[in-house]
Amino acid sequence: MPFTPFHLGPGLFFGLLLIRYIDFPTFIIANVNVDIESFMVLALNLDYPLHGFFHSFIGGTIVALFLTAGMRELREHINPITRYLKVEQEYSTRSILVTSLFGVYFHIVLDSLLYLDIKPFYPFNFNPFLDITRFGLGVYGNCFLAFILGTILYTFRWLQRK
């Protein structure tokens, strides 16, 4: 999804569903940071695929490793925010790494359902997930539904912890 907020829906919903197992703030960021590539292509009018190298599992792994390093350094500074938002949790480098990979790969698979220019198994030039006729509007609709469900889950969690 070329730099859209649609990835926030699944990030919020699945992040809250799996909050006991994954690092929530890392998962939210991992679900959207891959689109920095698409944003740069659009903003700089680059002659480059909208969903290029970083929308592949190899490129996504690099993104996830950088995210892990960044989150390790920033996580202590994020803790007051997560406490305020009632999504505080214990974390480790391992949980941040696993969450980074899971979130980035989740993003790549979602986009792979829709876009012709994504080659998730780069350097191989194919996308076995692509099926625009079956998933097109359904993916966007499901992402929006996930946002609504995630908001409801968050509201219940917030009220429960208040």
- DSSP output for 40-104: HHHHTT-SS-SS-GGGSHHHHHHHHHHHHHHHHHHHHHHHHHHHHTT------HHHHHHHHHHHH
Q: What pLDDT band is residue 132 in, cutting at 50, 70 and 90?
A: low
Q: What is the rounded average pLDDT for all residues in the chain? A: 89
| CA–CA separation, 137 and 3 (whole Å) | 16
Tell which wins on pLDDT, 2 or 24: 24
CA distance 104 to 100: 6
Secondary structure (H, E, C), 23-47: CHHHHHHHHHHHHHHHHHHHHCCCC
Reported pTM: 0.87
pLDDT at 33: 92
Q: Are 129 and 109 in contact (CB under 8 A)?
A: yes
Q: Which residues fall within 8 angstroms of residue 17, CB to CB, at 6 or more apart? A: 153
Supply the pLDDT for residue 81. 92
Q: Give the Cα separation of 104 and 124 in Å (integer).
A: 19
Give mean pLDDT, residues 132-144.
71
Q: Which of 78, 90, 73, 111 is nearest to 22 (CA)?
A: 90
Q: Which two tokens stand for residue 155?
A: 């509201």
